[in-house]
Amino acid sequence: MTATTSANHPYSPAYRAGDHVYVSGALSVDVDYQPVPGRDEALDAAVARMSDRLSTAGATLSDVVKLTYFVTDLSLREEANRQFERLFAVPRPARTFLEVSALPYGATVEIDAIAVTTDHS
């Protein structure tokens, strides 16, 4: 098992266990932890952070088998559906979409992921 760590986090942003990679929630914030404004922009920012975390454990979006979206506004579902269709080929990964009352740093979106890959780089 391999964890990718950062001095800024008390947890592993991505953790490899065999062929599985578990990605901690990636928020829709910029590099200064400021919330990204805009609906599509916030969704894309969370996916970009999640993709970066995947790459630290040798995985990519094409390896993702399950995503969980946490949003502060359930009406983001339509934008998230369009994003999902744009990012993933059929068959698409499983997905859970949940509304929460708040997210850290004022973010409006957080996405975590599970990926399966045989690339152990």
Q: Read off the pLDDT of residues 39-92 as tens digits, 9 standing for 90 and up.
A: 999 999 999 999 999 999 999 999 999 999 999 999 999 999 999 999 998 999
Q: Would you tell me how many other CB atoms lie within 10 Å of the CB of residue 93?
A: 18
Helix H or strand E encompassing 110: strand 109-116
Q: What CATH fold (topology level) applies to the domain 15-116? A: 60s Ribosomal Protein L30; Chain: A; (3.30.1330)
What pLDDT shows up at residue 20?
Answer: 97
Residue 7 pLDDT more than 70?
no
**20 forms bridges with which residues in the sheet?**
17, 116
Question: Look-up: residue for tokens 């744009």?
Answer: 86
62 SS3 class: helix
CA pseudo-torsion sign 56, 62, 66, 70: positive
* 3 vs 70, more confident: 70
Tokens representing 4 are 């990718």
pLDDT of 92-107, one tens digit each? 999 999 999 999 999 9
